[in-house]
Structure 1
Amino acid sequence: MARINLLPWRDELRRKRRKQFNTLAALAVLAMVGVIAAVHWYNEERIAYQLDRNKFLEQKTAELNAKIKEIRNLDKQRKDLVARMEIIQRLQSDRPEIVHVFDELVTTLPEGVYYESVTQKENILSVTGVAQSNAFVSSLMRNLEGSPWLEAPALKEIKASQNRTGSPAADLLRLAKFGLQFRQTSTTDDEDGEADKKG
């Protein structure tokens, strides 16, 4: 009976299987490396895209902030300009009234009285002056009450003082130093009201 040696064939089969396994393992490793490389590349691309987008958004935000700042500056300039225009308009509208007020200050001043100072804050006028007597101060207050441009005179202070008359006898004249406060009226409002009533 013939004898067949099967050992070389089995060794050959084992070597082939081992080679196939090594090849498949290498392919699997290469595939895994390829997948990892692809995922890494994809993530890098996404990160680069997001960084570019962030940079773009930061640039646009900076541009918007600059425009907002410019708009605020323009708005401030506009408000300043409007405020100046209002002041100019108020001064132009008050100019005739100031003329009337100074005219009334002269018109209502009786003889024997003179002003030492006149100050105005908004529509409140404060005056100091000297009168020959208290009666002259009362006369001045009555004249102010009757003025169409001035109202509500209030006596703030009055005190007696003496002044030399300049006569050879060097007689002393008793004077009354006073302080008054009153309001400036605006007849333009009254005229507008009368015009509305007529209309």
Structure 2
Amino acid sequence: MATINLLPWRAERRRQRERDFYTMLAAAAILAVLSWLAWGWWMDQRISDQDARNGYLSSEIKQLEGKLKEIKDLETTKAKLLARKQIIEQLQASRAQMVHLFDELVRTIPEGVRLTALKQTGNQLAMQGVAQANGDVANYMRNLDASAWMQRSDLQKTEIKGTDKRNRYEFGLTVKLRSPDQPDADAPPGSAPAKPGAAPPAPSGNPSTRAPASAAGAP
């Protein structure tokens, strides 16, 4: 019976397995290193992309901040323009109001009263003058209350000054200014506003106490 020695074959097979094992181990190590390098490169790419996004966002934020600053400047300019427009409108309205105001001052001042000073503060007009008697001052206040451009006269003072009977009483009073289309605060509800330029109703008492325009400033 023939005999076969298997030891060399087994040794050769063992060496082959060892070579295969070390080859697979080296391949696994190389694959692990390549995977680590690939992972590091991929992470670097992600970081670079994120940095690029952050830079883009920062530039856009700066542009938006610049636009917001421009919007704020425009709003400030708009507010200034609106304030100027309002002032111009008030000046235009007050220009017409001043014409009617001086006309009403001539219309309402009775005989025996002379104005010496006028001062306007907002919608309030302070007047100082002299009169022959206290009744003339009361008559003047009634005329002012009946005016379409003035209302709510308030006597501040009245006192005797000097010995001149024509200018014996010195007085001071205030009156509120208004437009004819603005309702009187003291008027009853539903009352129609007075028409511009309309003469005020005659005050109670002597109807001849109203002086003509030429005699308004006469002493």
When normalised by structure 1's length, the TM-score is 0.75
1:145 counterpart = 2:138: no
Match of 1:13 in 2: 13
Mapped partners of 1:83, 1:129: distance in 2: 36
Alignment identity in percent? Answer: 39
**Higher mean C-alpha displacement, 75-84 vs 52-61:** 75-84
State whether structure 2 residue 57 is matched by structure 1 residue 57. Answer: yes
The answer to whether structure 1 residue 177 and structure 2 residue 167 are counterparts is no
Structure 1 residue 134: deviation in Å?
A: 1.4
Equivalence for 2:129? 129
Name the structure 2 match of 1:35: 35
Aligned to 1:196: none
Distance 1:107 1:94, change over 3 A: same
Contiguous gaps of at least 5 residues in structure 1: 166-171, 193-199
Two-structure CA RMSD over aligned residues (Å) = 3.1
Q: Which 10-residue stretch deviates more, 1-10 or 128-137?
A: 1-10
TM-superposed deviation, 1:117: 3.3
Q: Which residue of 1 aligns with 2:117?
A: 117
Select between 34-43 and 131-140 the one with higher mean Cα deviation. 131-140
Instruction: Please state whether the residue corresponding to 2:51 is helix, strand or coil.
Output: helix
* 1:12-66 C-alpha deviation (Å, 9 max, x unpaired): 4333322221111010011111112112211221221122112112211221221
Which residue number corresponds to residue 22 of structure 1? 22
Q: Which residue number corresponds to residue 187 of structure 1? A: 180
Partners in 1 of 2:167 and 2:60 — Cα distance? 82
Q: Which is bigger in relative contact order (C-alpha 8 A, separation at least 6)?
A: 2
Decide which structure has greater helix share.
Answer: 1
Indicate the SS of the match to 1:186. coil
Instruction: State the distance in 1 between where 2:132 and 2:140 align.
Output: 12
Aligned residues: 185
In the alignment, the residues of structure 2 paired with residue 159 and residue 86 of structure 1 have an alpha-carbon distance, to the nearest angstrom, of 38
User: Which moved further from structure 2: 34-43 or 118-127?
Assistant: 118-127
Could you list the per-position Cα deviations for residues 80-111 of structure 1 after superposition, in whole angstroms to 9, with x for gaps in the alignment? Answer: 21231232122113212202212322443345
- Counterpart of 1:90 in structure 2 is 90
Alpha-carbon distance, 1:4 to partner: 7.6
Distance 2:85 2:55 in 1: 44
* Alignment partners' CA distance in 1, 2:9 and 2:162: 151
Give 1 or 2: higher strand fraction: 1
Q: Which ranges of structure 2 fall in alignment gaps of 5 or more residues?
A: 183-192, 197-219
DSSP-derived class of the 2:33 partner:
helix
Contact 1:163/1:173 (CA < 8 Å) preserved in 2?
no
The alpha-carbon distance between structure 1 residues 108 and 173, as it changes in their structure 2 partners (threshold 3 A), is closer
Report the secondary structure of 2:140's partner residue: helix
The alignment's TM-score, normalised by the length of structure 2, stands at 0.69
SS of alignment partner, residue 187 of structure 1: coil
| 2:96 aligned partner, one-letter code | P
CA distance in 1, matches of 2:2, 2:86: 129
2:13 counterpart SS class = helix
